[in-house]
Structures are given as C-alpha cells and as structure tokens.
Amino acid sequence: MITLSGIIGSGKSSLTGILAKELGTKAFFEPVEDNPVLPLFYKGNEIAAQKRAAGDEEATNPYAYLLQTYFLNRRFKMIKEAMQDDNNILDRSIYEDELFMKMNTDLGNATNVEYQIYKSLLNNMMEELPYAAKKKSPDLMITIKVSYETMIQRINKRGREYELIQNDSSLISYYHRLLGYYDEWMENYQISPLLVIDGDRYDFVGNVNDRVHVLELVEKKLTSLGKLSTDQASQMLIRHQQILN
C-alpha cells in the first residue's frame, strides 16, 4: 500500500492516478468537490483574520475543528478500506492530518482545547487501525515537495474559487506557513519508509520524460523494500524505454 502526501496543489491526485495505472492497482481518491465544510472553512479564516485585525485577539475560525474532524473521519474510512487488500494507493493519508489542526491552533483559528480533543480522537483511531485493517501502516509514503510558486501556479490552474489568493489575500501567509509545517512534518515522519519527490523539478503530468523518471524512482524504492521483484522492475524499465522511444 502506498500513500501520497503533500501541500495543496502539489499533484497528489495526479501522481496517484499515474502510479495506479503503472502498477495495475486501485486508486483511492479523497472527494473534494462534495465537501460541504471546506468553503466555510476558508470563509471562516477570512472572518477570523478580520476580527483579530479589529482588536478581537481571541477570535477563532468556527469551522476549523469541524473541518478537521470531517477530514479525519473520511480519511480513516478510506484507509481502512484500502488496507483490506494489498496493492492500493491513496492520494491522501491520515498521517499528515494533525499538522493542519496544529497549524490552525497556532494561528488562532482553533482553540487549544479543540486541538487536544482532536489529538485524543486521532490517537484512539490510530490504535484501532491495526484491528480494522490488514496492515498497521503503509508500505511507502510518497511526499511531493513543491515551492510556493509551483503550488500557486497549480492552484490557479484548477481554479477552485475558495483556494485562490486573488479572492482572499489572507491565503498568502496561510500557504507560506503551511509549507513550513510540511517541511517539519517530513523531517519527523517515521511511520513508514518515505520517498520525497521534487515537484518543482519533475512535471510528471505534462512531461513524459519526467513522468518516467518519477515512476523509476518509485519502483526503485519499492524494489529496495522488497515490494516489487527484480523481474517486475525490469519489465517496467523495458516498458518505459518503449514509451520514451
């Protein structure tokens, strides 16, 4: 089982689809368009920032805790389903979920009480995961690391109104801060083997050569972990050469 991680606009869903096709397995995508809380959360961030600017230092985003528990519930359900069988890929993981709640607490969008309740809920869920699924953790975590410029370019391209900095200037500092939290998360992640992909350097969606290179990085890592046989890896290399030629 492979899980993907990375900031908004890093290309998690795109790479999940590419890997699923390459490895002949099922992709699990977290629904975004039907999320009723996400637009409220972005609006709540803006309202909280305005209140704090006006002197209300204790103003919080009323939707921060709601959003994170919504995501946590959905991701727990998804990872349980994916872990029932071998060879599945998820475009989001429950393992990076806490960094969003921590950041929202640090920003003042959520209270420390809400954060402690959230952490308690998350810890209880993770203790139950080995009993609810075949695996205790992913075989490989892939993180796509991108710069602020690349992230904004991809956010603009997909055009979700509530994610655009043109519509909400407070998102500029929010996104910059989130990049820092992801850097810290990558440094401390220990739940499974981790592979970091340079999303600035490799355009695995639009460039065939870059896509093949990223696939080979993943397959080399899976082979070293004993999750792909050398014969399987060799067959994939042959197929890659045929694609490039």
- Higher-pLDDT residue of 207, 133: 207
Rounded Cα–Cα distance for residues 88 and 209 (Å): 25
pLDDT band, residue 133 (cuts 50/70/90): low
pLDDT tens digits, one per residue of 70-101: 999 999 998 888 888 778 999 988 999 999 99
Tokens encoding 238: 């042959």
245 known member of a binding site? no
pLDDT tens digits, one per residue of 46-73: 888 888 889 988 889 999 999 999 999 9
Tokens encoding 13: 């869903």
Q: Give the amino acid at 98.
A: E
Q: Which residues contact 160 (CB under 8 A, 6 or more apart)?
A: 32
Rounded Cα–Cα distance for residues 166 and 143 (Å): 27
Question: If 0-12 CB within 10 Å is exposed, 13-18 middle and 19+ buried, where does residue 53 land?
Answer: exposed
pLDDT tens digits, one per residue of 116-131: 999 999 999 988 887 7
pTM check: above 0.95: no
- Higher-pLDDT residue of 172, 39: 172
- Known active-site residue 34: no
Q: Give the amino acid at 151.
A: M
68 known member of a binding site? yes
- Higher-pLDDT residue of 113, 242: 113
Give the pLDDT score at 240.
87
- Higher-pLDDT residue of 245, 144: 144
Domain 20-204 CATH superfamily:
P-loop containing nucleotide triphosphate hydrolases (3.40.50.300)
Using alpha carbons only, give the angle 88, 89, 93 rounded to the nearest 5 degrees.
Answer: 125
114 known member of a binding site? no
92 known member of a binding site? yes
Average pLDDT, the chain: 90
pLDDT tens digits, one per residue of 205-221: 999 999 999 999 999 99
Tokens encoding 124: 């209880």
34 known member of a binding site? no
12 known member of a binding site? yes
Provide CATH 3.40.50.300 ranges for the chain: 20-204
- Pick the catalytic residue from 91, 106, 203, 231: 91
55 known member of a binding site? no
Question: If 0-12 CB within 10 Å is exposed, 13-18 middle and 19+ buried, where does residue 152 land?
Answer: buried
Q: Where are the alpha helices (DSSP H) in 108-147?
A: 112-132
Q: Give the amino acid at 172.
A: I
Neighbours of 81 (CB within 10 A): 15
Give the SS3 label for residue 142: strand
Give the SS3 label for residue 144: strand
Q: Is the dihedral of CA 107, 112, 115, 119 positive or negative?
A: positive
pLDDT tens digits, one per residue of 16-42: 999 999 999 999 998 766 788 888 988
